[in-house]
Structure 1
């Protein structure tokens, strides 16, 4: 960590972001007022449709597929390997399962029903991306799974009883080998922390580079020019998984708007875009379905191909389904 260009004075630092005017309306007081009195529809009026079932336990499809389980949890099948991104199965993304943001839908399958997982990939240590209960369960039920994490996050796993021989802890532009895949830790503009201490561990996006296919996962991030650099260094990408939810003018530098998500997809030179970080937990002030509506409108205007799976739905990237706007029947 001390050798990282991003680490100084005991914490990690973001690269510069474009200047942007501060939100008007009173800062924290305005956020609290909006949270308590805002008229947004933050929860759906009907159950979110979940595609339930077991992901096949045969050898991974040599082509490219993704199964989105909700929020930012997704299973990649790429060239014979399976990578699980930011697994969160807990009922709440919180230090306590008695309080904090609660799921709007159940996981499409149990952790014990997962097929062989070659690697778990973690973007940062916030509770909605690094879930102790899920990580421990996967480590127990998948004894050969490796864990790829940004700098400092390995300490969490070590405290949770996971052998550090299974953990690859990486700085930006460092990589691990999973089978024939190169999995590269790439830049993001965010922050980290569990509890009261912030930025003691690194945050990241990820590039998965195979012989034939490439995937980009944004993690959580504000929009910045690091994505264009990632596209130049590691793209183009057949598939992007990009954060679109929990944005606000109050924290524009750490979470992208849907339109900025489309810009990120274009910056990294993506093919098919699948949105993540929406639909599962209420972490923002907007309507629950606003992110995907804004995404679809902007992607259509800019000629970007989008697939929006239901939680648990598997998408073959070479044969994506037609956009059916399923969430409109839930609102």
Structure 2
């Protein structure tokens, strides 16, 4: 491995982004934009358009199913001191064309750094803060530390943001990225471009579900002068919400999304943060994937993604922040949901994200990977190497 400084010195490049006109290769039912809500002909906000989300006022629902059970002692706060998740210093490839394989490094929670064999370098949902909160002194605090700083990452071409929640979008982190990597391009869902520009970031492309952008990276110096890297970035659906102001003041005014990235012959799907099927308040010992609950609606958009944009070499799929199910299932997948999403989207391999960093909900901190193995067994998928987890800072090749 070469040093970061030597890598940066050999990679002077310029980046051009063009948003493709019109939408191609999308399901027929998506043409009418059922996720848009309009008010007097003017765009107002977004929604999850399928019964798999259910219907409930978010803040009241949270009070009833989380806050009140905690007060009554019926719901325990997870003990983060029990975490056995290792954090290691990441190792980066020495130059853009150093490997013929896709290489993915987990940087904690939903943040992944992916190095494509084409030379493309992509960062997903970067949050390097101690707390994911509007303020630095309250809110969930990390129980595992970031494996590196933004300045330690050698090259960032594209930064993809799934939505506006604080555990996925950090004001300080995106500013640090722009400072250390001024040519990095940010890709966001509808409504978020204004937030980025108000924060002083200019290289921003805003997309709706099923829209695409193309990015061209051209080397300006070093041994690679004149070489180009091509990539296509696609904004795709998921089932979630958005907002950065407490008490749902700005809820769903910006769009949440999953993302597909293709460069060369490799394709990655990033699930970001999503639910799969809303589960009602059922007895604690019940299996919500048992026959009694098989009728619950499933989000059809993941099969649409698999059919219209798959297959994918790698899926980065959320597996944590799911308990209690009645409170979080509509917008957070548990590992059984995650395995269904994995097969729906036609991912060949996957890594679990959205766990192991902040205790956002009430499952035990080590539970998601254990339940993932059980979910894979039930589906008849090998437990090792197909849909896996790793240490924070660890890299895997695909």
Tell me if TM exceeds 0.5: yes
TM-score category of the 2 structures, normalised to the smaller one = 0.7 to 0.9
> What is the rounded CA distance, in whole Å, between the counterparts of 2:168 and 2:54 in structure 1?
27
- Conserved in 1, the CA contact under 8 Å of 2:239 and 2:275? yes
User: 1:45 deviation in Å?
Assistant: 2.4
For 2:214, the equivalent position in structure 1 comes to 177
Q: Name the Cα RMSD after superposition.
A: 2.0
Which of these residues, 59, 65, 77, is aligned with residue 115 of structure 2?
77
Which of these residues, 157, 161, 165, is aligned with residue 118 of structure 1?
157
For 1:310, the equivalent position in structure 2 comes to 391
TM-score between both structures, scaled by the size of structure 2: 0.74
User: 1:40 deviation in Å?
Assistant: 5.7
CA radius of gyration, larger in: 2
> What is the rounded CA distance, in whole Å, between the counterparts of 1:17 and 1:214 in structure 2?
30
> What is the rounded CA distance, in whole Å, between the counterparts of 1:21 and 1:157 in structure 2?
30
For 1:245, the equivalent position in structure 2 comes to 320
- Conserved in 2, the CA contact under 8 Å of 1:188 and 1:226? yes
3-state secondary structure, aligned to 1:242: strand
TM-score between both structures, scaled by the size of structure 1: 0.88
Distance 1:208 1:39, change over 3 A: same
Which of these residues, 224, 249, 257, is aligned with residue 204 of structure 1?
257
User: 1:4 deviation in Å?
Assistant: 5.8
User: 1:39 deviation in Å?
Assistant: 3.8
User: 1:6 deviation in Å?
Assistant: 2.9
Aligned residues: 310
Answering whether residue 358 of structure 2 is matched by residue 281 of structure 1, we say: yes
3-state secondary structure, aligned to 1:270: coil
CA-to-aligned-CA distance 1:158-207 (integer Å, 9 cap, x gap) = 111111xx111000111112342211000011111110310110000111
- Conserved in 2, the CA contact under 8 Å of 1:17 and 1:253? no
> What is the rounded CA distance, in whole Å, between the counterparts of 1:126 and 1:277 in structure 2?
13
- Any stretches of 5+ residues in structure 2 without a counterpart? 1-31, 217-229, 277-298
Once the two structures are superposed, the pairs formed by residues 1-331 of structure 1 within 5 Å of their partners are 6-7=35-36, 8-9=38-39, 10-18=44-52, 28-36=63-71, 37=73, 38-39=75-76, 41-45=78-82, 48-59=85-96, 61-78=99-116, 79-163=118-202, 166-179=203-216, 180-195=230-245, 196-223=249-276, 224-247=299-322, 248-302=325-379, 303-304=381-382, 305-317=386-398
